[in-house]
Copies of this chain bind each other. A is one copy, B any other.
């Protein structure tokens, strides 16, 4: 693992340690994302991420989905168009607000999303089994819980 910018850590004031952890975390997470994407062979496209959003926020409108993913509603519309053309999502007119259309997963869309999720998780689980023992798995579990809290500090809806 190359570290072109090794930060010194002689004495352990917690401040420097956190900087180092943040830097290492960013790097290892980047490695993980790219490795899983490449090896599990499921490119994390806008479409699959959007499927995840719709799964969690059923009945959301295009504008709402755009806010969730931090893209413009014009961009989100094109993605939803493509998902709809693949019969992965459906548009339903809002009975109350004539401007809105509610987006939902079709059965086909639910199956596709679950399949994509399982494929990536299975690959990662296999890798973890190969190289980590029970205690290390437990450490990962704790770290996941901590990271969840760190990220939850500001409310952000999660995707796939």
Partner of A129, one of B9, B121, B127: B9
Interface residues on A, range: 35 or more
A132 and B34 within 8 A (CB)? no
Partner of A143, one of B6, B10, B133, B142: B142
Dominant SS among interface residues on chain A: helix
A binding-site residues for B, Cβ under 8 Å: 1-2, 4-11, 14-15, 17-36, 38-39, 44, 55-56, 70, 114, 117, 120-122, 124-125, 127-134, 136-137, 139-144, 146-154, 156, 158-160
State how many copies of this chain the complex holds: 2
B124 and A25 within 8 A (CB)? yes
Chain B residues with Cβ under 8 A from A2's Cβ? 56, 158
Q: Please measure, in the bound complex, the distance between the C-alpha atom of A2 and the C-alpha atom of B116, giving whole angstroms.
A: 17
